Structure 1
Amino acid sequence: MKALEEKYLEGLSELFPSIAAASTEIINLQAIVNLPKGTEHFLTDIHGEYEAFAHVLKNGSGSVKRKVDDVFANTMSSRDKQTLATLIYYPREKMERIREEEQNMDDWYKIMLYRLIEVAKRSASKYTRSKVRKALPKDFAYVIEELITEKSGMTDKESYYNSIISTIIQIGRAEEFIVALCELIQRLVVDHLHIVGDIYDRGPGPHLIMDKLMEYHSVDIQWGNHDILWMGAAAGQKCCIANVIRICARYGNLDILEDGYGINLLPLATFAWKQYAKDPCECFLLKGQDNCKPQELELNMKMHKAISVIQFKIEGQAAELYPEFGFQRRNFLDKINYEEGTITIGGKIYQLLDDYFPTIDPKNPYQLSAEEEEIMNRLVKAFQSCEKLQRHMRFLLNKGSLYKIYNSNLLYHGCVPLNDDGSLRKVKIYGKSYQGRTLYDVMESYVRKGFFAVDPNEKKKGRDLMWYIWQGANSPLFGKDKMATFERYFLAEKELWKEKKNAYYLLLEDENVMNGILDEFGLDREISHIINGHVPVKTKNGENPVKCGGKVLVIDGGFSKAYQKETGIAGYTLIYNSYGLILAAHDPFESTEAAIEKERDIHSDSVIVKRTLERKTVGDTDVGKVLKERIADLEALLDAYRSGQIIEKI
């Protein structure tokens, strides 16, 4: 052991060859450890709402506005502070409008540059100069560093700054410089972003959200069941592909696939128009598409029905292949009386709302027709060969996971499957039983196998498990006994639509159970939190997102417009800064245009969930632990130099 330690110190001495070098590094690291902790920003269940997402990212859930308020306090009117905040969010667009109204742009540039420099100084104050330097825009890096760095001992500092700003305006670079400062402030107010699942489905812009995330400076993603669905589709899993297309059709978002990802849906459209030519497809109305043209609406409804029937067929086939998934009880096509238009469920006969099934053979209801087979084969190739989709999925694989432990918090999208008594539920995956953390770990390993396994059998298992994770009764990302898709389309009896939640959701206020989950993941129950989304919190009914005395935070407040009637708000976001945890409840986002033109920010009511007695530092974070270990290693190296055990390399 001692020899190994000596070998390690010898290696370290190559990087720090002298007492002076090792001492300097210790001083630098100790300085970083004592800086205020960076701000973490948590978002979940974005569901394709790109405009609202982009705005919340720009304003840092109110972090930018708080910085402006901190800097200017009572020295600036509320209106001027809002104008400055809007400029920081949308610098180019805001300046376009200012140019139309402002008589003396040079004076306006000067005032705004001074204000932005002050906000940038405050935003940069919690970081090392090195970290700020890395965030600076290339074209203006040196000048911005000069302006936001305090210079002690300078006798005529004001004159020095004035000359720099005057030169920027004089040479016609003021607007580009303002843009650079605004983007720097946006970059600095949030140190790290957590996306706690469900980027995809319902809203029109998940592909745009993915593009934005791929450019973001520091992000991690905990996969939601809707993300896993798209990952399975990209891997070529047919049930996942059918579900993706059905959901896009249901919400009138087929252009995500056609325009966003370039996937050709013409064969499906042609097939649907031919097979359902005289069918009004009234059970397949679209959600939230009141402005859709009549002919486009009619085609979308026919495509919606066509892909739904295909989905029920291929899911029926897959259910037989994997009986342990428990999906056989969800097979309905063989329980339909096609002559009478009824279905038998649980020994009871129900009348179907739609009994027109021209593509189903009653003797072999789960068999795809030749045309349906051809359509699905072409779609598999399209999804697997779509370069943009594959790039987005690789990003999800690279930055994502089923759960994450970060700065003593446990992040996951859905739940930890529990029995009614709060004990960890055992779930069978390909013949072996798993529970708690090991269930998450084995499921994640199979997701990655679905993309990267060399063994074709393991690769297929990985792909097919993604379909189970999407909607399986014991999936930690779903957490309900069923997904009542068929019942909602075809049956009027709403009691059949009911989806029973896993016991986890009934035990969120049970401290013993929640402590047990924290123990299972190796976290300190006294200081840690569970942060998840998935199930919208119905705020309008008085439901509180803060559960179990603040130990659990369920931060799905309805970012998706489809849920906002249920929740009464337009989403929660969570901020974790050096002072504690702040939960922001957002009002609906009107539009980007209104945010720029009318300076309408997303109004957010913030609630302090937890306030620390002492301001948290980098030393209190995961990064801080690593830095402290590094300091201890360097101190051991210093001792080795001073004892003569290792010779300085001078």
Structure 2
Amino acid sequence: MKIYKQITPEIITQDLRYLELLSHSFPTVAAASTEIINLEAILNLPKGTEHYLADLHGEYEAFQHVLRNASGAIKRKVNEIFGNTLREAEKKELCTLIYYPAEKLQLIKETEKDLVDWYVITLNQLVRVCQNVSSKYTRSKVRKALPEEFSYIIQELLHESSMDPNKQAYINVIISTIIDTNRADDFIIALCNLIQRLTIDMLHILGDIFDRGPGPHIIMDTLCHYHNFDIQWGNHDILWMGAAAGNDCCIANLLRLAMRYGNLSALEDGYGINLLPLATFAMEIYANDPCSQFGPRIDKANNSYSDKTLRLIAQMHKAISVIQFKLEAEIIRRHPEFEMEDRMLLHHIDFDRKVFTLDGKDYVMKDCSFPTIDPADPYKLTEEEQEIVTKLHHSFTRSEKLRKHMKCLFRYGCMYNVCNSNLLFHASMPLNEDGTLKEIEILGKKYKGKDLLNRVGQLIRTAYFADNDNEEKPFAMDYIWYLWCGKNSPAFDKSKMATFERYFLEDKETHKEIKGWYYTLRDREDVCDMIMDEFGVEGEHRHIINGHVPVKAVKGEKPIKANGKLMVIDGGFSKAYQPETGIAGYTLVYHSRGFQLVQHEPFTSTQKAIEEGQDIKSTTQLVELSSQRMMVKDTDKGRELMIQIEDLKKLLVAYRTGLIKEKSL
């Protein structure tokens, strides 16, 4: 039992004002004592299971399936519970039902001959699974997770044992009555959703929800209604936050990526962004331009676009890219301290010779058709381009759905998080070559480490929320774009973003983006320890957890680094990355017995998962096993509860010494 420090009258007197407030919630000795007993009991429950995911990049079907199957945990529990008592096909059907209850029920009702018998068997099976996943929680916590309309019935079923002959008839009557009153479908759906919810206690998203995949808006809808989660912002998330705040460079970059990966539906259908002005402009300006370097990167086997649409996307892609280069030059000129003059490249094009000239060297260009660029003033927007920028700006800043999702990102997100001895951030911690924290100057003041990430987070919020008369607002609006592609940005940390070079220059040497020192030095234990010390991460087993850089598992690269002190969990959720990773994402699972890394193979489709029972094939490796099972008392939440217990014990002493009077109920 936890031994708390001795409570003296002096301590009570010092805390008397706070204890007076606490007494309103616990007005008697009995109430305070009961709460202490409750909290002490909670401390000795197993810790809840945490799931870590990174770099979802709009792949909503795979993401939702991983949530539904709890990264394979539900299948493992079904195997443990039913072992050899069910055939493999029956266990597979039960798992699919838990993942997609409404859809699977519809299929079953079309084929099942004795539906009443199926209901009886299935309800009993689901109750057993639900009893298993709820066993590590208090009744109070489970009760709060229950759907209101079935709360009482589910509580009765969860806390009664069918092994007790006196209770079997009671349970049978409950189940038969559910069926007789035609509530079986709704009850099954409620049980399945409860199983999903209780299997994942906490969800951590380590950035990059947006871009590349088709449904970032669907992922955000899922998260905004999820029971317990946090987000560490990635560079792609920050890009969208900048666009929603009204930064035109962020808008242009975001649109360019949408064209590059052929994901227009997320913008048009998901967020109501009007792309017609850009499409009309692109068709006219690039009518005779093949735009061969700008065709979208899409899965040809599953391509739903016509050739005409693909050509239009390529034209829009080129049009917004040129607009982007012009807009970025305005910010670069305003902020020489960003040291990004090398990203102003349009004036290096020799339009007569159709080559790119830099430092006296000519580079062959893949494409030298720039009808909207004036060689005498290459960074000036044409009137038509300016009109498009204005319309797009209005569309992004007025999108109600986008505002809703940004509110969710700000409410549940930040640049980093420290949770249960783990330091979570998306990409990088800027370092010097010698492994020390790199000082980054922002508005004349230098920041590093934790202070840097705090300052960056504050500027992002200023850009989005501050009134226009806030003196930092203009800088914050520009800085949010810098965070997307600036060399000292902790969300990026590379020498450059070589967008222009990849599109227009043949020489692949110019395409290289040199990563900051963090990406090399994070393999060292001493560097990881130094960073964790900077953020006050404590514990015998502490870790840094990152995403951002895809782990090339197909080439033998390992996600576990620095002798287990750092884990990189970007395994390629994005289909665009899967050829180089060889897999389709990771889930890091932290339960009461330690860490497991779940490696996923590509997800086929939700339809096949429902109709054919196809699950994501996943392999699990043990990363770190705890010497003893972790309890709630070993977590951050446990430490909070211990403080609450200490305060309640002070309140008891205050009551018993007469310093505070018990209140009548």
Normalised by the length of structure 1, the TM-score is 0.98
Corresponding residue number in structure 2 for 1:635: 649
Corresponding residue number in structure 1 for 2:465: 452
Corresponding residue number in structure 2 for 1:546: 560
Give secondary structure in 2 for the equivalent of 1:83.
helix
Corresponding residue number in structure 1 for 2:569: 555
- Cα drift, residue 549 of structure 1: 1.3
CA distance in 2, matches of 1:397, 1:12: 30
Counterpart selection for 2:512 from 498, 510, 516: 498
CA distance in 2, matches of 1:180, 1:235: 39
Residue 325 (1) aligns with residue 335 (2): no
Corresponding letter in the other structure for 2:97: L
Corresponding residue number in structure 2 for 1:375: 388
Q: Is the 8 A contact 2:43 2:633 kept in 1?
A: yes
Greater displacement, 326-335 / 519-528: 519-528
Q: Is the 8 A contact 1:65 1:85 kept in 2?
A: yes
Give secondary structure in 2 for the equivalent of 1:502.
coil
- Cα drift, residue 11 of structure 1: 2.5
Corresponding letter in the other structure for 1:482: K
Residue 403 (1) aligns with residue 416 (2): yes
Residue 25 (1) aligns with residue 35 (2): yes
CA distance in 2, matches of 1:532, 1:395: 21
> Taking structure 1 as reference, are residues 152 and 632 closer, same or farther at Cα in structure 2, changes over 3 Å only?
farther
Counterpart selection for 2:589 from 546, 559, 575: 575
Q: Is the 8 A contact 1:91 1:178 kept in 2?
A: yes
CA distance in 1, matches of 2:54, 2:458: 23
Give secondary structure in 2 for the equivalent of 1:588.
coil
Deviations 1:563-608 (A, max 9, x none): 0000000000111111111100000001111111111110111011
1:207-356 matched pairs, under 5 angstroms: 207-288=217-298, 290=300, 291=303, 292-356=305-369
- Cα drift, residue 419 of structure 1: 1.2
Corresponding letter in the other structure for 1:197: G
- Cα drift, residue 153 of structure 1: 12
CA distance in 2, matches of 1:153, 1:69: 20
CA distance in 1, matches of 2:39, 2:369: 71
Give secondary structure in 1 for the equivalent of 2:98.
helix
1:129-278 matched pairs, under 5 angstroms: 129-150=139-160, 156-278=166-288
Residues paired across the two proteins, number: 650
Deviations 1:126-159 (A, max 9, x none): 1111111111112211111110113699761000
Percent identity of equivalent pairs = 55
CA distance in 2, matches of 1:219, 1:584: 19
Counterpart selection for 2:527 from 504, 513, 516: 513
Greater displacement, 522-531 / 135-144: 522-531
Residue 413 (1) aligns with residue 439 (2): no
Counterpart selection for 1:62 from 72, 90, 107: 72
CA distance in 2, matches of 1:318, 1:19: 63
CA distance in 1, matches of 2:502, 2:453: 30
Give secondary structure in 1 for the equivalent of 2:472.
helix
Give secondary structure in 1 for the equivalent of 2:576.
helix
Q: CA RMSD in A?
A: 1.5
Unaligned runs of 5+ in 1: none
- Cα drift, residue 275 of structure 1: 0.7
Give secondary structure in 2 for the equivalent of 1:353.
coil
Corresponding residue number in structure 1 for 2:453: 440
Normalised by the length of structure 2, the TM-score is 0.96
Give secondary structure in 2 for the equivalent of 1:127.
coil
- Cα drift, residue 10 of structure 1: 2.5
Residue 594 (1) aligns with residue 594 (2): no
Give secondary structure in 2 for the equivalent of 1:48.
coil
CA distance in 1, matches of 2:599, 2:226: 23
Corresponding residue number in structure 2 for 1:390: 403
- Cα drift, residue 504 of structure 1: 0.9
Unaligned runs of 5+ in 2: 1-9
Q: Is the 8 A contact 2:130 2:194 kept in 1?
A: yes
Corresponding letter in the other structure for 1:425: K
Corresponding letter in the other structure for 1:250: R
Corresponding letter in the other structure for 1:268: L
Give secondary structure in 2 for the equivalent of 1:534.
coil
Give secondary structure in 2 for the equivalent of 1:561.
coil
Residue 428 (1) aligns with residue 441 (2): yes
Corresponding letter in the other structure for 2:328: E
Corresponding letter in the other structure for 1:327: M
CA distance in 1, matches of 2:114, 2:407: 49
> Taking structure 1 as reference, are residues 363 and 599 closer, same or farther at Cα in structure 2, changes over 3 Å only?
same
Deviations 1:481-539 (A, max 9, x none): 11110010001111111111111111122111110000110112632110110000000
Corresponding letter in the other structure for 2:245: A
Greater displacement, 255-264 / 297-306: 255-264
CA distance in 1, matches of 2:366, 2:528: 43
- Cα drift, residue 456 of structure 1: 4.3
Deviations 1:373-430 (A, max 9, x none): 1110111111111111111111101110010111111000001011111111111212
Give secondary structure in 2 for the equivalent of 1:103.
coil
- Cα drift, residue 288 of structure 1: 1.0
